[in-house]
Amino acid sequence: DKANYRHFMAKEIHEQPEVVGQTLARYIDTACQRVALPVKLPFDFREVRRITITACGTASYAGSVAKYWFERFARVPVEVDVASEFRYRESTLQRGDLAIFVSQSGETADTLAALRYAKAEGAHTLAVVNVPTSTIARESETVLPTLAGPEIGVASTKAFTCQLIVLAVLGVAAAKARGELSEDEEIDLVRGLVEIPRLMSAALTTEPQIERLASDIAKARDVIYLGRGTSFPIALEGALKLKEISYIHAEGYAAGELKHGPIALIDETVPVVVIAPRDRLFEKTVSNMQEVAARGGNIVLMTDAKGAEEATLDTFATIVLPDMPAAFTPMVYAIPVQLLAYHTAIVMGTDVDQPRNLAKSVTVE
Ligand code: F6R
């Protein structure tokens, strides 16, 4: 049931504050402002020497964001890989390593095969899944559910932001177990997490502006997305969403990589979407934007009020998102990139919920 929406994708984008709130409620003890995983972990984070995160597509980008969190909060090395590579490259897992798998459907063939491989190697396996009855959920040692509810649109939206929530909580739990987090720091992070549904609702109010922008994006042949730190995987996600539902070619790059090749693509016809909350890396990203502007590129800047004020350069459009703690911007910045893909696809007249050549659940490799 699409409620009053034209597409499942639109409904699922708008449901995010609610389902993210539900997922948070399962993972946070709001009364004492502490993280509280719904299951007891069968391993001790202090003994985990390495974490691998394996998934496909959008779920792998949730894993890429989580890498920054695990490394920054918990000081544990993390490797992220797409499942189709992980399963065949004879990854060197050791007994006691933690292998995390992220999947909406819980049926993705490559992710399942990677899970079986990790189990056979003696790693602890933990799955972040949206379908609790799925094969990946059944076969994994530990299951952390996302509470996104059924996701019907082929392009993943609400499952992605719920995956981010679960992985963020797990990162905080790991940091705590490893003695990397004071009580005050934990409370601070938890407060930040609890605010996310409200901030996502605020991000949804940018929709009319993004809808107007979509008619310009729809004229482009190529679109580039840039971001640094946790915004880099959001750039990759923005590019994937745009190409899969609007069929416009798009690429996401780490902003600092621009000058190592992709900058050759920039001219007046190439919109460059820059995901740049005003965090500690903001200045660096602004200088990358200046390089784009100097070559006539049309910048679509996604930032907060402070960022909009400080980035003194001409943009084609600036989308102003709410101010928020730097750690958890990916959940909120996912929304404008989803909306931009959605509205561009509408202008293109594509089948948004059932894009060509794609299936919701990829059960063959
Ligand atoms: C993109 C998309 C795909 C899936 C990928 C993994 O919008 O939906 O990239 O994220 O096929 O699927 P799951 O999460 O079911 O393993």
Place of tokens 């792998």: 60
pLDDT in tens, 176-205: 999 999 999 999 999 999 999 999 999 999
Cα separation, 277 vs 23, in Å, equals: 24
C-alpha of residue 32 to centroid of ligand 1, in Å: 35
DSSP 24-82: HHHHEETTTTEE--SS--SS-GGG---EEEEE-HHHHHHHHHHHHHHHHHH---EEEEE
Residue 8 and residue 353: Cα distance in Å, rounded? 6
**Rounded Cα distance, 252 and 272, in Å:** 10
What whole-number distance in Å separates Cα of residue 220 and Cα of residue 129?
Answer: 35
C-alpha 102 – ligand 1 centre gap (Å): 9
Smallest CA-to-CA distance from 28 within 278, 276, 197, 205 is with: 197
pLDDT at 88: 86
CA nearest neighbour of 164 among 326, 10, 14, 23: 23
Q: Do residues 62 and 164 make contact, with C-beta atoms less than 8 angstroms apart?
A: yes
176 three-class SS: helix
Q: What is the DSSP string of 244-298?
A: HHH--EEEEEEGGGGGGTGGGG-STT-EEEEE--SSTTHHHHHHHHHHHHHTT-E
Q: Give the model's pLDDT for residue 358.
A: 87
Of the chain, the percentage scoring pLDDT greater than 70 comes to: 100
Q: How many residues does the chain have?
A: 365
Tokens of 81: 């890989």
Q: What residues does ligand 1 touch, defined as CB less than 6 Å away?
A: 56-59, 103-105, 108, 111, 155-156, 240, 244, 361-362
56: CA distance to ligand 1 center in Å? 6
Q: One-letter amino acid identity for 248?
A: I
**CA nearest ligand 1 atom 16, residue:** 103
Q: Active-site residue among 2, 119, 243, 360?
A: 360
ipTM: 0.99
Cα 60–chain centre separation: 8
CA-to-CA dists, residue 47 to 64, 92, 190, 239, angstroms: 22, 17, 24, 37
Q: For 346-355, how does the pLDDT look when each residue is reduced to its tens digit (9 = 90+)?
A: 999 998 988 8
Give how far the C-alpha of residue 284 lies from the chain's centroid of Cα atoms, to the nearest Å: 21
- Is residue 326 within 8 A of residue 280, CB to CB? The reply is yes
Q: What type of residue sits at position 118?
A: A
Q: How confident is the model at residue 60 (pLDDT cuts 50, 70, 90)?
A: very high
Over residues 98-140, the pLDDT tens digits come to 999 999 999 999 999 999 999 999 999 999 999 999 999 999 9
Structure tokens at 251: 């690429």
Q: Is residue 360 among the annotated active site residues?
A: yes
The type of residue at 294 is A
Cα-based distances in Å from 144 to 77, 235, 260: 21, 26, 39
pLDDT in the model for residue 106: 97
% pLDDT > 90, the chain: 89
- Picking from 64-78, 289-303, 308-322, 348-362, which range would have the lowest pLDDT averaged per residue? 348-362
Q: What is the mean pLDDT of residues 200-226?
A: 98
Report which of 290, 19, 360 is spatially closest to residue 164, judged by C-alpha positions.
19
C-alpha span between 303 and 17 (Å, rounded): 19
Kindly report the pTM of this predicted structure.
0.97
* Average pLDDT score, the chain: 95
Ligand 1 centroid–CA 294 distance in Å is 36
- Cα(292)–Cα(249) distance, rounded to whole angstroms? 18
358 in Cβ contact with 244 (< 8 Å): yes
Q: Is 90 left (phi over 0), alpha (psi -120 to 50) or beta?
A: left
* H or E element in which residue 161 lies: helix 158-177
